[in-house]
Structure 1
Amino acid sequence: MDNLGTLGTTEEQIELMDVATNFCRDKSPIEKVRKLIDDDLGYDPDIWKEIGELGWLAIAIPEAQEGVGLSMAEVVPIAEQMGRNLMNTPFAATTLAAQALLAGGNEQQQAAWLPKIAAGAAATLALQEDNGDWDRNNIAATGTVSGDIVTLAGKKQFVIWAQSAELIIASIKVEGAVQFALIERSAIDDAALRRESVIDETVRSYELDLDGLTISTAALFDAARTRETIDRIDLAGGLIHAAEMTGGTQAVIDYTIEYLKTRKQFDKIIGSFQALKHPTVDNYVEYEKSRTHLYSAAHCFNDQGRGEVAVHMAASQAHGSYSHAADRGIQFHGAFGFTHDCDAQLYRRHAIFKGALIGDAAYHRSKLAGLLFD
């Protein structure tokens, strides 16, 4: 972390980095990651319990709601180490759901759910639909109000960790305007959740069928705060996923270098060949760019305008760097690289799915261009 000091790295970030580095390395060895691919739950519930006990879910929740009272900047080093070790749990989804509540929930909604999340309850977001659009306003799911009851309709996709979540926050249209709805998992029939087959086998993603589901009008966010909620979700999501991708980039580069240092061709270590050595150095330079952008974005996350620019820069750089480093990792492993047994495959799949959730590098560059040049 020393090379990040000029970006205003906090003592809390440094302390959390130390703890998260050891925790994620010890609790998520690659053998366990692969074992969990075949597990229905997809993560170790004992580790999830430890994450709650460590207070990591409470970091960016205010003290008034029984949180730690820090910010998304202090979530970054944890997410980075989770990405580095492919530790997939509901951590990111739950953190983003808490941010949505903070941005758009009223006092009663926040009081009901934020302390639960801080104590370890999982939550998630249901935002995307089959149109594949990352614009949160382009949705078809609806809510029809009758008295104090809202009847929902439509389908949501990429609802990650929905089976484990106690709360799902879904975007719907009420009288043509986008609003957010709090849906308790206990109110959702198991048949309404269909597990999706996604390229990242370390995550659990679901399609949520909202047809016929009813909630109280008290479960709706204030429509006047929809824009604020969308902006918070997009920014917090861009930051936390950039952190995970940056950590993954470091890991796949390390994995590839280890192979380049041991594999021989023509009686020479293949890492000595310029055709492999130079691209690896390029990948490392891009990784350093990613990490610099990441902690710069964390540092100015709450600065209006500047924070938005920084997050899009970080997300764009992280997705591009991660994708390219994982591609080269697969290529440099030769025929083995194209098999499922090559760990570089796991990182490449992780990068693809992250792009599907928050937008790929090109999308974030287009958003950045609009901010800088419009």
Structure 2
Amino acid sequence: MSDRFALTGARIFDGDDWHEDHALVVRDGLVEAILPTGAMPSDIGAVDMGGGMLAPGFVDIQVNGGGGVMLNDHPDAASIETICRAHAPFGTTALLVTLITDTPEITAAAVAAGEEATSRRVPGFLGLHLEGPHLSIARKGAHDPALIRPMLDADQAALIAARQKLPVLLTTVAPESVDPQRVSALTEAGVIVSLGHSDSGYAVATTFAAAGASVVTHLFNAMSQIGNREPGLAGAAIDIGAFFAGLIADGIHVDPATIRIALSAKQGPGKIVLVTDAMATIGTDMTAFTLNGRTIYRKEGSLRLADGTLAGADLDMISAVRYVHRVIGLDLSEVLRMASLYPAQAIGQSHRLGRFANGTAADIVALSDGLDISSVWIGGKKVFGVNASS
């Protein structure tokens, strides 16, 4: 017997357009249809949402931790499950759990954990984002400089092997530590390559885009900035249409005026996508934690090392959505795309995530008109809200 139901009584955003007085029909974990309420078959069990809106679940391609756990400290499937569960109440229904620069042994353990989480079908787990260790020390941010190193043949082979074990694998590299031929080999093997933590200029970024790099990690942070004679990696991310670019929209990492400028100037088809760069604090009241043996302090909405360096973000996706809509002033439809459709496109998953159409995943977030989250479904199973599964 099929698991079939319909959600009614809310406006529906399908990733492109809004539907009034329609029902979202779900069958066996997939979207079946969006139908006028009056055309819905009588044998479908209907759930009246009582107003608000339904939107595709958020897709976050940079999540370092949550629920008190960092993947670096606990590279196992249980931690991946904890992180995914911690982000679900904030509307994130698919995410790339991110490993910050670490040792080869920890990296291998994280890949094994991702493989196990995939086999266990952990709700919300989409794959891994390996942020480093092939970065630039000059733009290291909170990454441990002792662990940053150039990519060698064995590293390239390990990434290609890891991709065969995971649904999605994204890696952040800096041109200072990786040559274009390696990027081409990685992308040909299905690895998504993002440029970040780099002091490289526009011309180098252009070369790496031609080699297959298609994402830029946390726009404006830990990269060369836009100058009058050198656009830098930040300028390349905006001007080169091949690049999608992650954005940490918390009011701390990037000034709101800078965000507005970037949104106005971004060349496509690549888009700016919302990321949280979230750490262990999400879903907890913890005030500090450790990364690579260093303490990170949570204070006034930010996470910082003792010297004041930003270390990830104390941010969830619905807060980023609210910020870009209310502070930046972007139309809600476009903000929702930045949180779901565009990140799905960035990692080649828009055929099943980021939109509602026949056969897409029934990953759903129910929002009030004030952008509070009332319920969340992953694969048609309610994971947050009244009567959510445990």
**Do they superpose with TM above 0.5?**
no
Task: Tell me the TM-score range normalised by the shorter chain.
Answer: under 0.3
Select the structure with the greater relative contact order (CA < 8 A; seq sep ≥ 6).
Answer: 2
Question: TM-score scaled to structure 2, two decimals?
Answer: 0.25
